[in-house]
Chain A
Amino acid sequence: MKMGKNLILVMLALLLSTGSLLANGQQEMKKDLKPGPSFTSALSPEDEGVVKPVNMKWEGESPLRIAVLGLENNPFWIPVKEGALKAAEELAQYNCQVDWIVPAGDSHHASVFGNAIEIAMAQQYDAIATIAGDSGIVTYINKAVEAGIPVATFNSETESENKRLFFVGADLYKQGEAAGQAMADVLGGKGKVGIITGYFSVEALELRRLGFEDFLAANYPDIEIVDRVENQDKADIAYGQAQDFMTANPDLGGIYVTAGGPFGAATAVEDAGKVGVVKVVAYDFVEETMEAVQKGIITGTIGQGPFAQGHDPAVRLFNYIVGGVVPPAGRLLTRSDFVTIENIDQFWSK
């Protein structure tokens, strides 16, 4: 009936305009965002991993929504996800909703995560935290920020400057340097080292590799890098490569693994009976690696604060939007703990 039809049309119009008013209202409330810290400023914050939300509620009708984009395809991400979920729990009482999102495509590439940023924008998230695996993601980050959505990066970051508000994660080049120092210490300043990197094409891993190599070249000229290969994060490939390193260099002193699968290299060293002769330096605290550290097969492994990487971006983004708290620096560097057989009990138990 004509009356009914008109009624429906009017109601639809009312609904739509209310909706857009609300959405604009949400935007209006965020418009007065303060300028962020400089891109390259860096410090290690005291409250890493335990940043507290400001004691203010988000005054909007609907909750403030923050998207945390990460991966779940290997055990490294377990504490990251835990961090994000903890942030969600803490922020729930302040009318803020944090969603942990794993984009389909199971890869760290810019195409996958850039697409995920666009989807988050379409879903009208108010802030986004994401990994930045390669510089292809810069355009997507800038687009989001220009649309009024603050972006934080974590875990991996590009060298190329972009409009992200801040980064939470390790200084990868410095980690490489620290690994270089650790290797030099266990080798007594001289010897041969082979490098197994995850991917030559991942910027973050190249920083770890170059930090290591540059540091050793500058400070320990008696340490020679004999080979560089990539294992694509696979432990069984690392096994074969470690074997080949030991064959090609019978006096090999160390193996440096920049990314996934170091326990493959460790098993090869063990099977060759060279535990303690060939030292292995690795990254991250996944179960298999920690077991190898405890057995003394991996000399030491370098952490990067994964819990903080999952937790802090969401909380700091909330504090920025709601409380006007500008992050203390552009690069909020997480502690890179060096875990060896001596201090492993502080970090891990079976």
Chain B
Amino acid sequence: MDVAIIGSKRSGKLFLKGMIHTKEFGVFCALLLLIIIMSIASPYFLGTHNIFNVLRNMSTIGIMSIGVTMIIITGGIDLSVGSLLAVSGMVTARMMYFGVNPLIAFIGGLLMGTVLGAINGLIITRIKVNPFITTLGMLSIGRGLTFLLATGIRGSVASNIGMKNPTINFLGGGYIGVVPFPVIEMFILVILFTYFLKYTVLGRQVYATGSNMEAARLSGVRVKNVQLFVYTLTGTLCGLAGIMSGGLIETAATNAGTGTELDVIAAVVIGGTSLSGGEGTIVGAIIGAAIMAILKNAFVLLHLPAFVQTIAIGVVIILAVATDTMRNKNHK
């Protein structure tokens, strides 16, 4: 995070000062600390391969957290992301199984995620069921659909479906030089949507909707459409994540993504997004995802027992929110 000093020295100093006070800076410092500790603790941590492995491992959660950050900023939540990941991958695999062109299959998978995300959004905005319940229901529906799509190939029991195609496999497991392609995808999407949230009207409306929905509505923001947008977009992003994840192991698994929703929400929260809405950034969520990915990597590199890892991740989540709460108290 190099600070380029643009313009006068004074505005440069203000920029730096402004940055230090953001939540993301605090979490970023935590990340830096973790990296420093790990580099000392294990000679393998800073190796090119390991760093890129960690980045690739976090790309699925990273991409999904782009959408979920926006949802949580608007004051909502999405528990169905894991199921949307699985069903999208399964749709693509199933279409390829029937000989459909992989590009069309790819679009098909994305479409499935998009449609289910849109259904989430419609139920939340038009029928006014609260997001927790709606997406909880979609979690089960999505998983059931995944199983349904997976049956019939080998009898009436759900089977994993192979996903073998050079392009699709490249999406999930390919490399450009030493950089895994999923990492490139993740960074492109992060840059795109960070710009979107900060500098476009719809992006600012996402924040407005979460800050104070009634005030936003009264000032002309179409809050229902904003919400519909964030849930639909998340569906598409989960679709992409599902196809990438299946492409990596060349299989669309029936149990793909189970439990991932909690990892995504943890990343978003660690990154500084408040569950009550109105604030948060995508960069923060990526830092949160990175912290969790490095912790998982650390436990293998340091040969630590796996139970401790599970406890550690829980502690990190609580610490992250606690320090944020304390910071807020100090500033007020």
Report A's interface with B, CB cutoff 8 A: 72-75, 77-78, 81-82, 106, 194, 200, 226-230, 232-236, 239-241, 243-245, 247-248, 250, 260-261, 263-264, 267, 271, 286-288
Interface residues in B86-132 by Cβ distance below 8 A to A read none
Contact status A73-B155, CB under 8 Å = no
Interface centre among B56, B147, B162, B248 (most CB of A within 10 A): B248
Contact status A288-B42, CB under 8 Å = no
Which A residues are in CB contact (< 8 Å) with B53? 240, 243-244, 247
Known: A240-B53, A247-B49, A261-B253. A267 touches B159 (CB 8 A): no
Known: A247-B49, A287-B154, A287-B159. A236 touches B253 (CB 8 A): yes
Contact status B47-A247, CB under 8 Å = yes
The stretch among B185-193, B211-219, B254-262, B271-279 that forms the contact with chain A is B254-262
The stretch among B13-21, B224-232, B299-307, B313-321 that forms the contact with chain A is B299-307
Which B residues are in CB contact (< 8 Å) with A75? 154, 157-160
Which B residues are in CB contact (< 8 Å) with A287? 154, 159-160, 162
Judged by a CB distance under 8 angstroms, whether B297 is at the interface is: yes
Contact status B258-A264, CB under 8 Å = no
Instruction: Report B12 CB to chain A, min CB distance, Å.
Output: 40
- The complex places the Cα of A241 from the Cα of B81 at a distance, in Å, of 22
Contact status B50-A247, CB under 8 Å = yes
Question: Per-residue 0/1 for B261-288: is the Cβ within 8 Å of any A Cβ (1 yes, 0 no)?
Answer: 0000000000000000000000000000
Which B residues are in CB contact (< 8 Å) with A235? 160, 249, 251, 253
- The complex places the Cα of A54 from the Cα of B233 at a distance, in Å, of 61
Instruction: Report A248 CB to chain B, min CB distance, Å.
Output: 5
Judged by a CB distance under 8 angstroms, whether B250 is at the interface is: yes
Judged by a CB distance under 8 angstroms, whether B173 is at the interface is: yes
Known: A78-B157, A243-B53. A228 touches B306 (CB 8 A): yes
Instruction: Report A262 CB to chain B, min CB distance, Å.
Output: 11
Contact status A288-B160, CB under 8 Å = yes
Instruction: Report A274 CB to chain B, min CB distance, Å.
Output: 12
Interface residues in B127-143 by Cβ distance below 8 A to A read 143
- The complex places the Cα of A16 from the Cα of B130 at a distance, in Å, of 48
Instruction: Report B305 CB to chain A, min CB distance, Å.
Output: 7
Instruction: Report B174 CB to chain A, min CB distance, Å.
Output: 10
Which A residues are in CB contact (< 8 Å) with B196? none
Instruction: Report A207 CB to chain B, min CB distance, Å.
Output: 18
A-B contact sample (8 more), CB < 8 A, given A74-B157, A78-B155, A263-B251: A72-B151, A73-B147, A74-B254, A235-B160, A240-B57, A244-B300, A247-B44, A271-B173
* Pairs A–B under 8 Å by Cβ, sample size 18: A72-B158, A75-B157, A78-B154, A78-B157, A106-B143, A200-B307, A226-B303, A228-B305, A235-B253, A240-B57, A240-B296, A243-B57, A247-B50, A248-B42, A264-B249, A267-B249, A286-B160, A288-B160
Judged by a CB distance under 8 angstroms, whether B156 is at the interface is: yes
Which B residues are in CB contact (< 8 Å) with A248? 42, 44, 300-301, 303
Which A residues are in CB contact (< 8 Å) with B253? 234-236, 261
Closest 9 A/B residue pairs (Cβ): A244-B300, A75-B159, A240-B57, A248-B301, A78-B157, A72-B157, A247-B50, A235-B249, A264-B249
Known: A239-B249, A248-B301, A267-B248. A82 touches B47 (CB 8 A): no
Instruction: Report A78 CB to chain B, min CB distance, Å.
Output: 5
Interface residues in B51-80 by Cβ distance below 8 A to A read 53, 56-57, 60
Contact status A245-B307, CB under 8 Å = no
Judged by a CB distance under 8 angstroms, whether B234 is at the interface is: no
- The complex places the Cα of A247 from the Cα of B307 at a distance, in Å, of 21
Which A residues are in CB contact (< 8 Å) with B249? 235-236, 239, 263-264, 267
Instruction: Report A259 CB to chain B, min CB distance, Å.
Output: 11
